[in-house]
A and B are shown apart, each in its own frame.
Chain A
Amino acid sequence: SQTIHQWPATLVQPVGSPLSLECTVEGTSNPNLYWYRQAAGRGLQLLFYSVGIGQISSEVPQNLSASRPQDRQFILSSKKLLLSDSGFYLCAWSVALAGVGEQFFGPGTRLTVL
């Protein structure tokens, strides 16, 4: 069965510090991968998605970047965090070429920028 991991679970960082959140998927090959941010009481905002190694699409201009160095690894980064980067970050995967669109989410990382 497929499993998706995210770490760390919680993170408190000062403004201006760098960020690296990691997501890995097990039990599937060539998944589509996604990074979302969920602000308190709000819906899911798609930040980045990837259909393959090194292929990243950005949905919203922002202070963040994403990379996919391996097939089942997706990394969210920032060089200098802003207060507005606080939120609940979720990684998700879906089966490529399935055409259904179901996405499966990881446990999330709660980021607080002080």
Chain B
Amino acid sequence: QKEVEQDPGPLSVPEGAIVSLNCTYSNSAFQYFMWYRQYSRKGPELLMYTYSSGNKEDGRFTAQVDKSSKYISLFIRDSQPSDSATYLCAMSVGSSASKIIFGSGTRLSIRP
């Protein structure tokens, strides 16, 4: 079993829809949870990070962590064609030499 599982998609939704991206994990020691966005042929860019359980909102993006279920989500409201990218979840235990475990990424396409 992989430490982090993420549905690779592709996921295609119309512009303006609410998008839900999800990951599950098996290591209960994970404390830091991140979402990266990667455009084609570019390096991933950090979109959001959260510590422990709960929600965090940033503009149209909301990150949600449920540690009891070992499940994290990223919601995108009012989705735009510019949101079309691959979204990778990532998580770490958190230490001075932190290694991050990445999901395989979900490819998202927003149709105009």
Q: A residues near B, CB below 8 A?
A: 6, 32, 41-44, 46, 49, 51, 88, 90, 92, 94, 96-108, 110
Assess A101 versus B46: contact at CB under 8 Å? Given A42-B104, A43-B103: no
Q: Which of A32, A97, A105 has the most CB of B within 10 A?
A: A105
Assess A108 versus B42: contact at CB under 8 Å? Given A44-B88, A96-B96, A101-B32: yes
Q: B residues near A, CB below 8 A?
A: 6, 8, 32, 34, 36, 41-46, 49, 51, 88, 90, 92-100, 102-105
Secondary structure at the B interface, as helix, strand, loop or mixed, is loop
Contact indicator A105/B103 (Cβ below 8 Å): no
A94 to B96, CA, bound (A): 10
Residues of A within 8 A of B32 (CB): 100-102
CB nearest to A55 among chain B residues? B97
Assess A46 versus B43: contact at CB under 8 Å? Given A99-B94, A100-B32, A102-B34: no
In the assembled complex, how far is the CB of residue A11 from the closest CB belonging to chain B, in whole angstroms? 14
Contact indicator A103/B100 (Cβ below 8 Å): yes
Contact of A44 among B45, B92, B94, B102 (CB under 8 A): B102
Residues of A within 8 A of B99 (CB): 46, 49, 101
Beyond A99-B98, A102-B49, A103-B90, 10 additional pairs, beta carbon < 8 A: A32-B97, A43-B6, A44-B102, A46-B100, A88-B41, A92-B43, A94-B98, A97-B96, A102-B34, A107-B43
